[in-house]
Structure 1
């Protein structure tokens, strides 16, 4: 494996609904102890339990380094409020926020809001791309350092209007003028994560290629993962992006219940199978998982892994104290977070403000 390629690891801390902050804090701290890039907390309008973004806002002051990435559904949600909420999470976490983009396709979820009927996934993922676009514009609509301050005593003005920029964005289903009421986030743009599920619409892949910083993919074999990573990076380049700014992580459901299997001739260790839309599953012990991660990353099939524990406390503990420890011992994974922000963990630069770069005019 190339010494210059950084291995990225992340984990889900959801599971059965829990209504106490302590359990989420404990899992996030465990991931932080293992120097994982970030944790996700999945959510939907049909899922019982507390709001993922609000939960991670509570986790933020109880952690110091690990990135915090809640699911944020763009359907039925006002883009302006979404961008403000994610920017706020970036502020309260001191630059560790991201958001896992999702859409809501069911009639039952549409009825919760009563504002519009359910729509096809293709249309909703096009809309999600527009939301990701306007969110980035809103985060840029206040220049770095712009805020409520008395800039000129003679005018009595409490804000420097030259540092604010109207977005004036009109999408297929919404329009946003801006500017944001929240100052520009510490990361410039919080990290955008998109989960690619096999068999979903081309619009989902297009949104990921254009707007995602991190893409989660589902693949049963390293060759499949490498091919999908290659297609994503190629499409990102076609949209004008630097494909080197796209991190592609293989999504695995993790079950370490059985531990390491006995070494017997002819036995396949660390069973890893594709499971359709549910994603790929790994069942085995921490050392075999470390071998799998080493092999896939060394072959440049992926940039890292996002692991979803079957049993959050048990499997995350075995991931951190077992697999991660093995990878660290082999010199393949860091022993501490080298920076303070999620972008720094991922090796991504802080984006320049588009309005400042363009000379100020919106």
Structure 2
């Protein structure tokens, strides 16, 4: 398996419905679950499946993504042979959701020529799931299929494709003759010369494509059944390790059904919420049904319900912010939110 499957992650996608959270980062680097980034899921799945060579194709706002992944050490991808590769694309096009763009791949075609893996798995960067790719490779190699598209049972395409690396190279090289611009074009062509098959995946999987979807998927992590399906002991979701002190709970504070990361100071009430590293919550503050990202500072006597605070947000004392599950109140990164601003 080590030399049979190449991992290819398309990190170029941009969803307009997530604009408030993508001003300073790519979708792949969107924080999730208090300590993860969205890309951690597909990357961990690849590593847990024995893949030792992974190429990531970002397009814009990828500084935070590269800072998060670094050399790939936390995924055991900082190696002399194979490892983690970044191929930022110089190509600008109007299609923001073209998974597996052959134009993007063509710019770095030499990488595919040099790859020793017989097969390639091409994936989007924004699906929250925990999946072993070994059974798919075994099924594909014995099925006679040219391309296998992953489908979620009872749903549609997961925008992940298994293909021989040699065929992928051919599709890239002949893109101008065939008119195929991406993997989706190939699998959706009814007159295609290739045998396209579907592999049904019946596990937990959610594609993050809107604020509402991001909020509901995050809140579902607080349900034990969802947590057990997503975070498996034998297939851990790996992420960047940060050494921080334990969270401090001030006398009189209260926490119920919440995920609290390290390095926080909790002085108020936190219920049904996800709190990232280094967050400070003042005395008398009430936080319900919220996503609070890294290093936010919420002063005393604030009330937040169904709110998403991006990183480094400061909420001044006495501020009341209320959203809904279908329309959470979103505060952009680095913003100062005060009581007078809401009056």
Q: Give TM-score, length-normalised by structure 1.
A: 0.26
Larger helix percent: 1
Larger strand percent: 2
